[in-house]
Amino acid sequence: MSTFPFNPISPWLNEPEGLQPSLNADITADVVIIGGGYTGLYTALGLREAGLSVAVLEKDFSGAGGSGRNSGYVDGLIGKDFPSLLKLYKIERARELCNFAREAVQKVEAFIKTHNIRCEYEPNGNIMAAVHPKQIKKLKKVAEAGEALGMDFTYLGPEAMRERGAPSPFVAGVFDAVGGTINPGLLVTGLRALAIAKGVQLFEKTEVLDLADSQPVVARCKEGSVTAEAAVLATNVYANKLGWKKRLVIPICTAMCETAPLTAEQLEAIGWKGREGIYTAHEQLENYRLTARNTIITGGKYVKIPYGYQVSDTTYLPNLFTKIEKVFRERFHELPDIEVKTFWGGWIGMTLDFMPALGVTGKHRNIHYGLGFSGHGIPQTLMMGELLAEQVQGRVHPLAKVLKRKVITAPPEPLKWLASHTLSGVFSSLDYFTDQQARQLKQ
């Protein structure tokens, strides 16, 4: 059996040396936040700014969830894709959603700048790319939908792709100048430091075991509790375990890997002068990006869908690791000898309509939640943090209405398992044929 150089979190960050203490007393705060990822920390910062006392309870350390494991694309996308938005909603509503996603990117950019968070942000935009000319039809539909929605998308035909210096496996694309790529570990580390500096009480290695439906609300942990006027569920894909908002977030596990740094010659060989984030036009997309250390990070395409809504702690996924490395080597044949240095995995929290859900629950309407970022959490968690901070204080942020809708939860098992596996099977078959044709192109 082959083994993989595996990182149980990701190569973006390690457990911090100065871990914050774990909770070992019964304390009170104005607000208790469960989860110390982007959502929890942004919300905590908003509440501190308003002068409230905030306790953030994090079962591991800040960044151990999706916030420290992701691919680092800062994109202005929302919903499944732009053509689907146009099919599902009236044009005004679709525009509103797109503007929300674009504004979220601007906010994250402004936040990084204002607080001088050094997170290797490269605002080079992102490209949705075809690996075979048959995907061009889809790209054109995306470009048209983008235009109808007022987005500044540029369709890049085969010549334009080569002129741009995009890597050779990608035969055409749609360029979106909004956003770029980031080091997600540095972002969450910077946020954590800022939150601590602003007086947020962060408790790490502190798992909330029970969140009582009471007024005040009580979050109980193994060796202490927090009693507060309001609670915020910022647990994203891990929400189900606590028993709140079960079946709202559908967990999907995905694998990632990072190569060794490319030499100047290797970089020259692949091109990629624009250093855009690239994701493919497959049904189950592949993603490729360069890092500040000139490695390539790739993942996506293959997923593990569990039975039920609980996520497992282990993200060692040898089967998926083998597959993503194989696809990477096939695409980047100019780099035959490059070593893949690290593999890791992470849980993505999807909603049925691929959009985040904001709300309040509990008998006393004091348990607020912002969950289900469906792969776009880097920008959208910041926006969610703003909306949650307002909502907890009894106010409605002007942008909250954009996320307002009847959020449909996924069906119980075994229906969810059957439906998601059927859908994933269909998508994989379609992608398989595209990849077969892409292979034939090269021969």
Ligand X SMILES: Cc1cc2nc3c(=O)[nH]c(=O)nc-3n(C[C@H](O)[C@H](O)[C@H](O)COP(=O)(O)OP(=O)(O)OC[C@H]3O[C@@H](n4cnc5c(N)ncnc54)[C@H](O)[C@@H]3O)c2cc1C
- Which is closer to ligand X, CB of 132 or CB of 282? 282
Told to check if 38 binds ligand X by CB under 6 A, we report yes
Could you say which of 64, 161, 195, 228 contacts ligand X (CB under 6 A)? 64
Told to check if 189 binds ligand X by CB under 6 A, we report no
Query: CA distances (Å), 337 to each of 6, 144, 272, 295, 375, in order?
Result: 19, 40, 19, 14, 31
Instruction: Determine contact, residues 11/341, Cβ cutoff 8 Å.
Output: yes
Q: Is the peptide bond before 216 cis (omega within 30 degrees of 0)?
A: yes
Which parts of 249-268 interact with ligand X (CB under 6 A)? 254, 256
Q: To the nearest whole angstrom, how small is the minimum distance from the Cβ of residue 56 to ligand X?
A: 9
Rounded Cα gap, residues 124 and 396, in angstroms: 34
| Count of residues touching ligand X (by CB under 6 A) | 40
Told to check if 7 binds ligand X by CB under 6 A, we report no
Told to check if 242 binds ligand X by CB under 6 A, we report yes
Rounded Cα gap, residues 262 and 267, in angstroms: 6
- Which is closer to ligand X, CB of 59 or CB of 132? 59
Told to check if 69 binds ligand X by CB under 6 A, we report yes
Tell me, residue by residue from 381 to 420, as one string, x for binding to ligand X by CB under 6 A and - for no binding: x---------------------------------------
Rounded Cα gap, residues 258 and 289, in angstroms: 10
- Stretch in the footprint of ligand X (CB under 6 A) among 59-67, 100-108, 161-169, 410-418: 59-67
* Residues in CB range of 426: below 8 A, 6 or more apart: 283
For residue 427, give the 3-state DSSP assignment.
helix
- Stretch in the footprint of ligand X (CB under 6 A) among 149-157, 368-376, 397-405, 413-421: 368-376
Residue 334: CB atoms within 10 Å: 14
Told to check if 234 binds ligand X by CB under 6 A, we report yes
Told to check if 207 binds ligand X by CB under 6 A, we report yes
Q: Is 16 exposed, middle or buried (0-12, 13-18, 19+ CB in 10 A)?
A: middle
Write out the two tokens for 200.
């947020």
Helix (H) or strand (E) holding 298: strand 296-304
Could you say which of 7, 13, 40, 131 contacts ligand X (CB under 6 A)? 40
Could you say which of 23, 29, 34, 296 contacts ligand X (CB under 6 A)? 34
- Stretch in the footprint of ligand X (CB under 6 A) among 71-79, 155-163, 391-399, 405-413: 71-79
Q: To the nearest whole angstrom, how small is the minimum distance from the Cβ of residue 72 to ligand X?
A: 5
Q: Is 6 exposed, middle or buried (0-12, 13-18, 19+ CB in 10 A)?
A: middle
Q: To the nearest whole angstrom, how small is the minimum distance from the Cβ of residue 151 to ligand X?
A: 17
Told to check if 124 binds ligand X by CB under 6 A, we report no
Choose among 176, 178, 162, 40: nearest CA to 105: 178
Query: CA distances (Å), 323 to each of 24, 148, 202, 256, 320, in order?
Result: 44, 37, 38, 10, 5
Q: To the nearest whole angstrom, how small is the minimum distance from the Cβ of residue 158 to ligand X?
A: 26
Rounded Cα gap, residues 90 and 107, in angstroms: 26
Q: Is 396 exposed, middle or buried (0-12, 13-18, 19+ CB in 10 A)?
A: exposed
Q: To the nearest whole angstrom, how small is the minimum distance from the Cβ of residue 413 to ligand X?
A: 21
252 strand-pairing partners: 348
- Stretch in the footprint of ligand X (CB under 6 A) among 28-36, 117-125, 154-162, 412-420: 28-36
- Which is closer to ligand X, CB of 133 or CB of 308? 308
Could you say which of 15, 60, 120, 229 contacts ligand X (CB under 6 A)? 60
Q: To the nearest whole angstrom, how small is the minimum distance from the Cβ of residue 147 to ligand X?
A: 24
Which residue sits closest to ligand X, CB atoms considered?
Answer: 377
- Stretch in the footprint of ligand X (CB under 6 A) among 98-106, 133-141, 145-153, 374-382: 374-382
Q: To the nearest whole angstrom, how small is the minimum distance from the Cβ of residue 221 to ligand X?
A: 8
- Which is closer to ligand X, CB of 146 or CB of 299? 299
Rounded Cα gap, residues 6 and 276, in angstroms: 26
Could you say which of 112, 208, 296, 383 contacts ligand X (CB under 6 A)? 208
Query: CA distances (Å), 28 to each of 46, 220, 436, in order?
Result: 19, 12, 60
Rounded Cα gap, residues 75 and 102, in angstroms: 8
Told to check if 138 binds ligand X by CB under 6 A, we report no
Could you say which of 11, 46, 66, 167 contacts ligand X (CB under 6 A)? 66
Which parts of 73-102 interact with ligand X (CB under 6 A)? 73
**Binding footprint of ligand X on the chain (CB under 6 A):** 34-40, 57-60, 64-67, 69-73, 207-208, 234-238, 242, 254, 256, 299, 346-348, 373, 375-378, 381
